[in-house]
């Protein structure tokens, strides 16, 4: 009860948001959170009450920090925003958790207002979904940069034959 | 093993069989307003339990009873870590309960449903 928090709550919530966005709700254990956030287990329970409490804090943090400030910007440009936790939450948790559903719905409604057309919102969400498979490919090419690519190897082959 | 249920505005945690004896407690009744949440947490068995005030502690076999750690009072009743559920409380004698239940996911869903309305 009287114990002081020895960690930065905002920082911990941000780290949790990143983890939940990548691995979804069930893919993140309390062990994962304790390790990644660098927070004692009893502090985690003391501050957030439960894993769900931390998830809701992480989702709200993401909406306030990453989503709301971009709403106006999104309506005017071709840029597809990085709103992974919001969109993963819509797929993963909203059907099972009324509070998550309310949060996601209210952001979608704000997005409708910003774009002025629900179809524009739908198109934006569709673009995010369509680009998902490219994320993995992008990461792969980035990590392959140090290794010679298949094309480079082929190009050196003819010189050997000569 | 413990059975978690909701009766009216209370959360009831009842110890079954010999666990009543190991934990020296057969039933806990907590107003739902004092329940902050529930979490499936197998990893918590690996944490230091603190000082045992009452009950039974055979590491790796059973943790049951009342333990004090860092100014917190925690009630334990767990044999199988995989089935451990953590119930966080407020304004209660215990800071949290760590109990083994038959179906951890179902128990967490029950607590979340009962406390979120």
Which one of B37, B41, B96 has the shortest CB-CB distance to A30? B41
Alpha helices (runs of H) in A24-149, residue ranges in sequence order? 30-37, 41-48, 51-62, 71-76, 84-92, 98-115, 118-143
In a domain, A97, yes or no: yes
Q: A109 φ, ψ to 5°? A: -65, -40
Give the helix/strand (H/E) hosting A79: none
**Between the CA of residue A133 and those of A110, A128, A130, A149, B68, what are the distances in Å?**
27, 10, 7, 21, 50
Which one of A2, A41, A98 has the shortest CB-CB distance to B71? A2
In a domain, A35, yes or no: yes
Q: How many domains does chain A fold into?
A: 1
ipTM of the complex: 0.93
In a domain, A135, yes or no: yes
Contact A3 B39 (CB under 8 A): no
> Where in chain B are the domains?
2-115
Residue A24: give its domain's CATH number.
1.10.357.10
- Containing domain of residue A33, as a range? 9-140
- pLDDT tens-digit readout, A117-140: 899 889 888 888 888 888 777 766
Q: In whole angstroms, what is the distance from residue A26 CA to residue B66 CA?
A: 30
**Predicted local confidence at residue A144, as pLDDT:** 54
pTM for the whole structure: 0.86
Select the more confidently predicted residue: A136 or B24.
B24
Q: How far is CA B12 from the centre of its chain?
A: 11
- pLDDT tens-digit readout, A31-72: 999 999 999 999 999 999 999 999 999 999 999 999 999 888
């Amino acid at each position: 009860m009287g114990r002081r928090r020895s960690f930065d709550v905002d920082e911990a919530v941000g780290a949790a948001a990143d983890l939940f966005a990548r691995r979804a709700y069930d893919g993140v254990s309390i062990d994962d959170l304790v390790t990644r956030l660098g927070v004692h287990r009893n502090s985690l329970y003391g501050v957030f009450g439960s894993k769900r409490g931390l998830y809701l804090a992480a989702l709200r943090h993401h909406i306030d920090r990453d989503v709301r400030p971009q709403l106006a910007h999104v309506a005017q440009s071709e840029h597809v925003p990085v709103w992974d936790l919001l969109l993963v939450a819509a797929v993963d948790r909203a059907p099972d958790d009324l509070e998550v559903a309310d949060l996601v719905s209210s952001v979608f409604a704000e997005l409708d207002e910003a774009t002025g057309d629900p179809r524009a919102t739908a198109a934006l969400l569709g673009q995010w979904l369509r680009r998902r498979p490219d994320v993995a490919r992008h990461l792969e090419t980035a990590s392959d940069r140090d290794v010679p690519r298949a094309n480079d190897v082929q190009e050196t082959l003819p010189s050997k034959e000569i | 093993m413990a059975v978690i249920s909701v009766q009216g505005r209370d959360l009831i945690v009842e110890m079954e069989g010999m666990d009543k004896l190991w934990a020296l407690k057969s039933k806990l009744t907590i107003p739902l307003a004092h329940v902050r949440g529930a979490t499936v947490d197998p990893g918590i068995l690996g944490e230091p339990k603190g000082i045992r005030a009452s009950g039974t502690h055979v590491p790796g076999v059973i943790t049951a009873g009342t333990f004090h750690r860092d100014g917190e009072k925690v009630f334990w009743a767990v044999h199988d870590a995989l089935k451990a559920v953590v119930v966080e409380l407020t304004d209660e004698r215990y800071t949290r309960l760590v109990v083994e239940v038959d179906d951890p996911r179902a128990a967490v869903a029950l607590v979340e449903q009962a406390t979120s309305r």
